[in-house]
Amino acid sequence: MLLTGAQIIMECLLEQKVDTVFGYPGGAVLNIYDALYEYRDRINHVRTAHEQGAAHAADGYARSTGKAGVCIATSGPGATNLVTGIATAYMDSVPVVAITGNVNVDLLGLDSFQEVDITGITMPITKHNFLVKHIEDLADVLRQAFQIAQSGRPGPVLVDIPKDLTAKKYEYQKQAPLPLLPVHYPSDEHLRQAAQMLQNSRQPFLYLGGGVSLSGADKEAAAFAEKLDAPVSASLMAQGAFDAHNSRYMGMLGMHGTKTSAEAIKNCDLFVAVGTRFSDRVLCNAGLFARNCPILQIDIDAAEFNKNIDVDLRLEGDARQVLTGLLSLLPQQNHAAWMEQVHAWQKAYPLTQAAEAGVLPKDVLETLDKLTDSNAILTTEVGQHQMWAAQFYKFRRPRQFLTSGGLGTMGYGLGAALGAQAGNPKAKVINVAGDGGLHMNCNELATVAHYSLPVVELLLNNSVLGMVRQWQKLFYDNRFSQTTLDTNTDFCKLAEAFGVKAYRIKTKEEIEPTLKEALAQQGPVLVDCWVDKDVNVLPMVPAGASVEDPMLEM
């Protein structure tokens, strides 16, 4: 079948069962967009207000569905506007395929209009990238891009396609998607060593990272926790990988983790880490982390072993497969006294917030949790609201919490929410935002309004850059340099200008009825919730301190 390069791109997307793409048209991708018009009954295109929103939307689609997300941008500034979104996906291991246009092949390297070396720019933040210079390579490159993005530890792949290739014709033959690349599996000897470590433990600590969600290992992780008879903590990226309603769950570990998790790591005799890269926000002071016990690490990426912290035994492989192997070797354990101690810490150190008056973020998020039966998909921007969402919403399953953990990208959440809503049309999707983050991406309110996506934008509005201000309070003697957001933006009027229905919460009594009404709407909604600027994220481990000793008050 003789097709243009643009049509070959469409057919390759259909091979991969891609149903939705996100992007923004421009000169170098005119042929691709002409093909999208032709294929509009088979591939849904969501035009965002900005290319960065398209990258975040593809990311949110991928995180929430488990399928690769796809975004499209033109050459030059269109391509560079994707960079922050690509880096966000890279840091959090999200399978995204970014397709960019470029100038004609004979104009490459001549500083042509809207030309940029996007493969050179994105090399450090992609699993792989391609510049396609020959039409005969186009289909195979696209197939490889999806294979690489989804194999092993997932991540973004960029394919840069000169405009003249999208107009040329070439013979296309349909193919099945390439199989995922094989991953390593631990030796029987290493599995037996791990099983022996587990059996010797009397006070084990099970810590789950984002890899548990990515591998679909949540059921195996729950069964493993039961068989090991251990308490469980999860990273920011692993919220929902273990049901927060389960009495074994202690909350997060790390800079803003719970006091229960801190006590557990101080007293455990074995630390079992599954699918985590030991981020500095988890370790805090690496020299003081889990210093009283051996560490068993399970991870699909060999580069993560002994990178941030030395471990005693490493099992390289997919989390689901490795946990399945360990379950078959491990007899049922019984650590009743240890679990009783953990439950005592949970009662002694609950997560609390205090304020003289007004609306507490804890009350807002716990009410949201109740009204949605812990089943909504939450996205976030980055800052205090992000931590409060992780602390007070009780996620039940993987792919419910979409947040920028590694790169910490302000402006991520609204784009991710519209991507998640497009991929999960029957789900309730809520973006928990701060006013700083919303100022960065409010243009995407136009997108959710245009497509009538029923996203709820829950704004925790404290008129400051709260997390940065919190550090200024602790370590800079209350010198609040440029963290007071005195812009006087009326977010309700702003939302309404975009065609988004808006509500405002200013008192505790307004929380439940307002949220209930907002959640019942069939279209996009913004809820402007005023909270005190001096409500802090606690617990908190100060820089350089041990994760075992978080501050409980400021």
From 113, 123, 175, 521, the catalytic residue: 113
Contact 361, 388 (CB under 8 A): yes
As a whole number of angstroms, the distance between CA 204 and CA 240 comes to: 21
51 is catalytic: yes
Q: How far apart are the first and last CA of the chain?
A: 68
Q: What is the 3-state secondary structure (H, E, C) of 112-140?
A: CCCCCCHHHHHHHHCCEEEECCCHHHHHH
Beta strand segments in 355-448, E: 377-380, 401-402, 429-434
Nearest Cα residue to 145 out of 161, 128, 125: 128
The residues, ordered by sequence, that sit 6+ positions from 94 with a Cβ below 8 Å of its Cβ are: 59, 62, 63, 69, 88, 154, 155, 156
Say which of 250, 252, 440, 467 is annotated catalytic. Answer: 467
Q: Using alpha carbons only, what angle is made at residue 388 by residues 64 and 58, rounded to the nearest 5 degrees?
A: 25
- Token pair 């941008």: residue: 73
Q: 99 near 9, Cβ under 8 Å? A: yes
Nearest C-alpha neighbor of 533 from the set 472, 457, 461, 478:
461
Residue 521: active-site member: no
Are residues 53 and 444 in contact, defined by beta-carbon separation less than 8 angstroms?
yes
List all residues 6 or more positions away from 121 whose beta carbon is below 8 Å from its beta carbon: 79, 80, 83
Active site residue 540: no
Active site residue 467: yes
Asked about 189 being catalytic, the answer comes back as no
Catalytic residue, chosen from 15, 38, 67, 114, is 114
| From 51, 115, 220, 444, active-site residue | 51
Q: Are 170 and 2 in contact (CB under 8 A)?
A: yes
Three-state SS string over 252-273 comes to ECCCCCCHHHHHHHHHCCEEEE
CB 426 within 8 A of CB 111: no
d(CA 499, CA 497): 5
User: Quick one: tokens of 221?
Assistant: 């992780």
* Active-site hit among 163, 362, 428, 533: 163
CA atoms of 360 and 385, how far apart (whole Å): 11
Whether the Cβ atoms of residue 480 and residue 472 lie closer than 8 Å to each other: yes
Long-range contacts of 190-197 (CB under 8 A, 24+ apart): 190/313, 190/315, 191/315, 191/322, 191/325, 191/326, 191/329, 192/329, 193/313, 194/296, 194/313, 194/315, 194/326, 195/326, 195/329, 195/330, 197/270, 197/294, 197/296, 197/312, 197/313
What is the set of active-site residues?
A: 51, 113-114, 163, 467
